[in-house]
Structures are given as C-alpha cells and as structure tokens.
A = this chain, B = another copy of it.
Amino acid sequence: MCSLPVPREPLRRVAVTGGTHGNEMSGVYLARYWLQAPGELQRPSFSAVPVLANPAATAACRRYVGRDLNRTFTSTFLTARAHPDDPYEVTRARELNQLLGPKASDQAFDFILDLHNTTANVGTCLILESASNVFAMHLCRHLQLQSPEPPCRVFLYQMPREETFSIDSVAKNGMVLELGPQPQGVLRADLLTRARALVAAALDFIQLFNQGTAFPAFEMEAYGTVSIVDFPRTDAGDLAGAVHPQLQDQDFQPLLPGAPIFQLFSGKDVLYEGGPTTYPAFINEAAYYEKGIAFFQTEKLTFSVPALPALAPAPTPAP
C-alpha cells in the first residue's frame, strides 16, 4: 500500500458538510441545526465548521439543480473561467473550493467529513478515496470500534487512475459518511441519531490525535470498486426489469455466479454470470438510475494499515 503522508501538525481546520445532495436529509438537517447551535462541533483543540454544501438543491429538496455537486470538484471545473451559463453547482463548487481549499494547496482545510444518505441498505458505510489514506483508515478503525452495531463497512470508491471529484477531496484529508436505507426527502430519527453519534466519534478521534495520541498498526477489511452493473434495458433505453428480490437489500453480502440479479418485467430472471464472487454495494440507489448504475461490484480486500505516530508535543510557550 502506497501511503499518503500523515498529518504532522494538529488538525485545526475541520469542516462537517451536509446537504451536498439536497434530498439526503440527515446531513441537511444536521448542518442546519449546527449552524444554529455549533457547540456540538467544538473540541478542546479545534471547532469543526458546519457547512450546508448545496443550499439551492436543499431548498428544492433535490439531489442537485444543475449537475451533481459531488462530481464537480475536479480541476476542469474548479479552474475553468467562470461563465454566466455555468450550472449552479459549478459555481458553488468554486465557492466551496475557496472556502475549504483550494484543493491540493497548503491552505486547504485539514479534514472534511461529508454526510450522505442512500436508499440502499448499506447500513453505516465509511467511504474513502483509497486505502492509502492512513489517517482516514485510522479514523474508520476508530469508528468501527466505537460503533460495532451495525457494522461500519469501509468502501473505497475510486477507480484506478481516476481524478478525485467529491467535496471531501478538497481538503487534505476527508471521509464520507453514508447511511442507509433512507428515502430521498425523508428524515428518519434513527439515522439522524446514528449520523450524529458518528460525527461526534470522528471529532473525538481528531481531538485524540491532536493531543498526541498514537494509534497502532492494524489490519482492516474494505470493499474496493471493481465495476458497475447497469439495469437491463429495452432497445429504447428504458428499464426492462428491476433488481431481483433476492438481491435487493443484500448490500455487501457475497453474490455467487448463477444467483439472480434482475427480474425482467416479462417475468424472466437474469442471473449473475460474472466470474468470481462479488460483493454488491449501493444496490438500487435512487440517484443512480440516471447514471446507469443498478449496483457496484466490489471485492473484499484486507489492508495492513501502518501505525499513526503521535504528533510531537508542541513546544511549551515561554513563561
């Protein structure tokens, strides 16, 4: 594993973003609440900044109004010259890049924790770009130990040689907290409570690191993206069937060759003909219909994560 550099200074500039997708309600309402009552995000060594990432989409209770904000933090969008016809989210990504970045600069925030919901039955899913982010892998481990039920699974979203594109990629370190299932536009108190507890645990971890705690090496399972699978479609491009009842809600469970994956409207089943066992994730997520994704195929991997060394104590100020 090629490790990214670990922080050598305390993380002082931390943001918790919600409403990056305007109809994912845990983050929308937590961000709004914290903007009124920020005390919950304070720790002795830092105060996390709450950010309502996509106010226009939140007001419309839609994922986005122009284009998916969480696919817009690439150099193409962030560095192009502004144009009056830019979609709202392109303009907003540039604003957020100024507020929280600039991406890949020394001025960027130290950490962004971005809150999401999915209609898929993923439970608690911690999403990282890759396993090479040692600090974030330690944070995941901390959350797994703090919140053993339901299991916190780690999902590595980035495909090889793909540029990062999500809001958390603007900071030096980041993570996405994805809770499901929750319908778009619905706020479930159970998921809100879980998101809130996980954010608190994440901030506690940063506080522990900032005050000089070292974290030992460990091994961790994570699910890495292999490919995506689209729905069966008619010649005109419409859906020809739905996710099979035997696959629905079975996120992160092994899918064996020969198992049914779709049920066509004609009544016929479509079977999984892939080679090895795969672990489907984000099965039947509402927002992915338009992206041509019925589910992700992932592989279960085990990573050896090196120790996270303690920060050197800050020099004692002269009396």
Q: Hey, which bits of chain A sit against chain B, CB under 8 A?
A: 29, 32-33, 61-62, 119, 181, 183-190, 192-193, 238-239, 241-245, 248, 263, 265, 284-287, 289-290
* B181-A290 in contact (CB<8A): no
The smallest beta-carbon distance between A191 and chain B, in angstroms, is 9
Q: Return chain B residues, CB-CB under 8 Å to A62.
A: 62
Contacts of A185 in B (CB 8 A): 119, 184, 286-287, 289
Q: A33-B265, A188-B245, A189-B263 are in contact. List 5 more A-B contacts (CB 8 A).
A: A61-B290, A119-B186, A187-B243, A188-B243, A193-B245
A188 engages B289 (CB within 8 Å): no
Residue in chain B with minimal CB distance to A60: B62
Q: Which 3 A-B pairs have the closest CB atoms?
A: A183-B183, A185-B286, A189-B242
A291 to B161, CA, bound (A): 46
Q: Closest CB of chain B to A39's CB: distance in Å? A: 12
* A186 contacts B29, C-beta separation under 8 Å: no
Partner of A248, one of B189, B263, B285: B189
CB contacts (< 8 Å) of A33 on chain B: these are: 265
* Minimum C-beta distance from A197 to chain B (A): 12
Q: Report if A242-B184 is in contact (Cβ < 8 Å); known contacts: A265-B29, A265-B33.
A: no
**Are A186's CB and B286's CB within 8 A?**
yes
Contacts A181-B183, A183-B119; is A188 near B290 (CB within 8 Å)? no
